[in-house]
Amino acid sequence: MDKKKKGKIISIFLIAIITLFISWILILLVGTSFTKACSGFYKGILGSSYNISEVLVKMSPLLLCSIGISVAFQTNFINIGADGQLYIGAIIATIVAMYFNLPTILVLIIALILGFIFGGMYSLIPGILKSKFGISEVINTIMLNYIAIGITGILVKTILMDKSGYFPMSPEIEASFPIIIGKTRLHLGIIISIVLALVVQFWLDRTKSGFYIRAIGQNVRASRCAGIKINKNILISAMLSGGFAALAGVFEILGVQHRLMVGISSDFGYTAIIVALLANNKPKNCILTSLGIAALQVGSLSMQRYAGVPSSIALLIMGVIVLLHLGNEALFPFLYKESK
């Protein structure tokens, strides 16, 4: 094992220790016993089969959004719009479930296909603006998030509103992905998400088109000189990114929420950026990082219930982890100096 690889492994342990220490300080500052808080965290994520399943339920949309974001980042397309693309997928899933009078299996398949396509098309808008006109995708994708949420708000107050109710939401959706564990919300989507992460990683590592995507991210000028079509591959990465994020919306509607409403996303698209960064933009690594972030979020809510620790501490901890991860070579130069 070379020095750099050893340095990365050691830095992970150092980051874990520093994060644990900062967590201890934060918990003490709110006047709660660290032991009690840890007990609440443990109960929240491992206390029962239902608690474990809730971590996996939270993991699925994070994983799908982070897969899409990591693909986009490969071509330096900074997709901040996964949340909006998730809403597009949720809208399409609701429309298919409400208006397509078909067997459940066909509804699920059609919702996945159309959700992916429409989510990809929605992400193509900032992709075209960047590749053709050089307009920053960061601002465009953020703005498109608000547009997608606004469209959702209009639809659930008009054509998709539950006529028997008073609140802006769709009727309850009957079509549903199969539940894996009885009396939980854990559905087939988690398995599909993991499989997709592995498939996308294989595509990036072992195919010519995947190599083109990675090459552009490494060096745009060299890629252009080698004959790689830069704009075409940026558009491909943008469409794939939006498509995978939209799948998260399909699974949320047909697997968890069963109703379309504003607020179905707990900022999955933004949190998935953290997942992708911690995974070094590798879809296979997103599996573990999304699991870790999901556990942190679910566990923090449990700490709030059992020990009175504000759940917002989870946001602080995530921020600390990202900063330490991105700056680990500057913070721990002694671990890497021989490899430079």
Question: How sure is the predictor about 226, in pLDDT bands with cuts at 50, 70 and 90?
Answer: very high
- The pLDDT score that the predictor gives to residue 311 is 80
Question: What proportion of the chain, given as a percentage, has pLDDT over 70?
Answer: 97
Q: Is 191 left (phi over 0), alpha (psi -120 to 50) or beta?
A: alpha
Lowest model confidence (mean pLDDT) among 40-44, 89-93, 216-220, 323-327: 323-327
Please say whether the beta carbons of 206 and 284 come within 8 A. Answer: no
Angle at 298 between CA 297 and CA 299, to 5 degrees: 90
* pLDDT, tens digit, 9 for 90 and up, residues 10-37: 888 888 899 889 989 988 888 888 888 8
Domains of the chain, earliest start first = 1-30+310-340 (no CATH), 51-308 (1.10.3470)
pLDDT at 339: 47
Under DSSP, is residue 33 helix (H, G, I), strand (E, B) or coil?
A: coil
Q: Can you spell out the DSSP letters for 62-131?
A: HHHHHHHHHHHHHTT-----HHHHHHHHHHHHHHHHHH--S-HHHHHHHHHHHHHHHHHHHHHHHHHHHH
Q: What pLDDT score was predicted for residue 305?
A: 86
Selection from 22, 15, 13 nearest residue 313 by Cα: 22
Print burial letters for 239-277: b (CB count within 10 Å at least 16), e (below 16).
Answer: bbbbbbbbbbbbbbbbbbbbbbbbebbeebbbbbbbbbb
Please give the DSSP secondary-structure letter assigned to residue 171.
P
Model confidence at 340, in pLDDT bands (50, 70, 90)? Answer: very low
pLDDT digits (tens, 9 = 90+) for 246-296: 999 999 999 999 999 998 998 899 999 999 999 999 999 999 999 999 999
Whether the CB-CB separation of 242 and 121 falls below 8 Å is answered with yes
Instruction: Classify 236 in phi/psi space as left (phi over 0), alpha (psi -120 to 50) or beta.
Output: alpha
Q: Are the C-beta atoms of 43 and 306 separated by less than 8 Å?
A: yes
pTM over 0.75? The answer is: yes
